[in-house]
């Protein structure tokens, strides 16, 4: 993805926007799908998707 109008964080949100994982029932979770939120304080030197 190349877009000079967006920050790295915004681009990562686009890539990972629909990524969901289920709550782990073995850890007391409900098993329902939930969206994953990632927070980066600084962009990595190398990023591979």
Average pLDDT, the chain: 75
Residue 17 has pLDDT above 70, yes or no: no
Q: What's the Cα-to-Cα distance from 23 to each of 31, 35, 36, 38, rounded to whole Å?
A: 5, 10, 11, 16
Output 33 or 2, whichever has higher pLDDT.
33
> Of 36 and 2, which is predicted with more confidence?
36
Segment 4-28 shows an average pLDDT of 76
Can you tell me the distance from the alpha carbon of 26 to that of 14, in angstroms, rounded to the nearest whole number?
30
What is the value of pTM for the model shown?
Answer: 0.36
Compare 17 and 29 and report the one with higher pLDDT. 29
């Amino acid at each position: 993805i190349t877009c000079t109008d967006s920050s790295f964080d915004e681009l990562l949100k686009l890539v990972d926007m629909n990524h969901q994982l289920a709550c782990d029932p073995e850890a007391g979770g409900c098993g329902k799908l939930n969206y994953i939120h990632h927070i980066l304080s600084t962009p990595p030197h190398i990023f591979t998707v």
